[in-house]
């Protein structure tokens, strides 16, 4: 199988990799190695682990400097909205990362939330690769260029508000009931769990949500519940 032109991606993000294998590894999903055992490189999960930490530090540092009068709780909410799966997978799509993913044939067919999660993880892996190859400053410049433009919309539309808290406020206001969440299913191997959670007002199911943790699935269910009930922000 012919590999994508990773040099093209490096040009796209205006980066020059000394160790080009790091960039290739950043796009290598675990499933690809199952079908290509002689590939010679590892999968991207360690790079994702590193990139996640760098991402959080860069965004925390930026918010601390940019919003000197905001309290810790609000800054935490801003950060959560900016580095969640939706925001960073959007940034990955804007960089056409989809075109460079190394996936198994089965994973390559996935769309929707599964692909969104893969793209978000790959975005973090690329951050990890940049950090190892070129240092903190280069990783910081990449992160700020891709994510900070999204912050204005997040603040303006109040997307930083925690969906679960907001849904609870609205449910108590309109129904006089505190909503509840129930785990409906749990699938996948340990390293790639997928949880489905139901959001209920009383005995009525309002929405379902999915995520790689119960907390993520509950947030997704709350977001979908806000849409279903017409409680926009």
Rounded distance, CA 44 to CA 26, Å? 5
Does the annotation place 203 within a ligand binding site?
Answer: no
Annotation-wise, does 48 bind a ligand?
A: yes
CA distances (Å), origin 85, targets 81, 114, 124: 9, 11, 10
Q: What does the alpha-carbon distance between residue 139 and residue 26 come to, in Å, rounded to a whole number?
A: 14
**What letters, b where the CB count within 10 A reaches 16 and e where it falls short, cover 151-169?**
beebeeeebbeebbebbee
Provide the β-strand partners of residue 209: 197
Q: How do 180-187 and 204-211 pair as beta strands?
A: unpaired
Asked whether residue 218 is marked as a ligand-binding residue, the answer is no
98 classed as catalytic? no
Q: Decide if 175 is catalytic.
A: no
Check 2, 5, 21, 52 and give the catalytic one: 52
As a whole number of angstroms, the distance between CA 73 and CA 40 comes to 45
Residue 225 CB-half CA count within 13 A? 31
Choose the catalytic residue: 21, 61, 124, 169.
Answer: 124
Which parts are annotated binding residues? 48, 121, 124
Which parts are annotated binding residues for Mg(2+)? 48, 121, 124
Instruction: Give the active site residues.
Output: 52, 124
């Amino acid at each position: 199988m012919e590999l994508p032109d990773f040099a093209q991606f490096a040009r796209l993000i205006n980066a020059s990799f000394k160790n080009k294998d790091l960039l290739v590894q950043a796009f290598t999903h675990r499933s690809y190695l199952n079908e290509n055992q002689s590939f010679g490189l590892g999968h991207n999960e360690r790079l994702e682990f590193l990139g996640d930490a760098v991402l959080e530090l860069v965004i925390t540092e930026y918010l601390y400097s940019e919003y000197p009068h905001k309290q810790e709780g609000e800054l935490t909410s801003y950060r959560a909205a900016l580095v969640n799966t939706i925001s960073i997978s959007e940034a990955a799509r804007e960089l056409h990362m989809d075109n460079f993913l190394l996936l198994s044939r089965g994973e390559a067919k996935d769309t929707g939330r599964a692909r969104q999660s893969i793209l978000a993880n790959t975005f973090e892996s690329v951050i990890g690769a940049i950090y190892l190859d070129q240092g903190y400053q280069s990783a910081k410049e990449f992160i700020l260029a891709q994510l900070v433009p999204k912050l204005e919309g997040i603040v303006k539309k109040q997307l930083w508000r925690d969906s679960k808290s907001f849904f609870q406020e609205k449910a108590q206001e309109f129904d006089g009931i505190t909503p509840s969440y129930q785990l409906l299913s749990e699938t996948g191997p340990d390293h790639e769990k997928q949880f489905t959670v139901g959001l209920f007002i009383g005995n009525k199911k309002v929405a379902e949500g999915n995520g790689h943790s119960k907390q993520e699935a509950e947030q997704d269910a709350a977001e979908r519940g806000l849409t279903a009930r017409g409680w926009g922000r």
